[in-house]
Amino acid sequence: MKTLILLLILGLIVAGCTNTTTTQSNVQENVSATAGQKTITFAEVSKHNSEQDCWVIIKGNVLNLTGFASKHAGGAAYVPYCGKDATEAFVNKPHSEKAESYFTYFMIGKLQN
Ligand code: HEM
């Protein structure tokens, strides 16, 4: 009888642990799903104003361009705009629709109005 009760308790503990794991992974999924929709203030963006820590605003989107220079066809041309609104600079350079489609890889949120 004692063994049976022990097994029952053990079963309940294992079931509890499995449930906790599921809940944690659900929370993580929700966080990453909404990460691109986070609202970020201009004051926050302006703190990330160097090549090593570079956030820019383009068309109301906040992009993290840290480490982007080596992959960007325009090299470090965006660096002077780190921490700033780079919409005008981006639009005035020869950028295709393809360039804009890459935004999703760098999006960390939307600028707060
Ligand atoms: C202030 C921001 C930026 C500036 C000043 C800038 C500048 C430039 C320049 C000068 C070129 C032309 C290089 C050449 O052909 O000689 C270029 C090309 C390119 N840039 Fe940027 N860039 C900026 C942001 C971005 C961002 C955020 C992306 C994508 C996430 C991007 C993607 C591209 C791509 C893909 C090209 C190759 C041409 C094309 O397919 O459109 N750039 N950029």
Residue 59 main-chain phi, psi, to 5 deg: 50, 45
Cα 102 to Cα 67: distance, rounded to the nearest angstrom:
15
pLDDT tens, position by position, 46-57: 999 999 999 999
Atom of ligand 1 nearest to the CA of 92: 5
Atom of ligand 1 nearest to the CA of 97: 41
* Furthest C-alpha separation in the chain: 79
pLDDT tens, position by position, 4-35: 454 444 444 444 444 444 444 433 333 344 45
> Atom 9 in ligand 1: which residue has the minimum CA distance?
74
**Of the residues 65, 71, 93, 97, which should be mutated to test ligand 1's pocket, given the most ligand atoms within 8 Å of the CB?**
93
Other C-beta atoms closer than 10 Å to the C-beta of 72 total 15
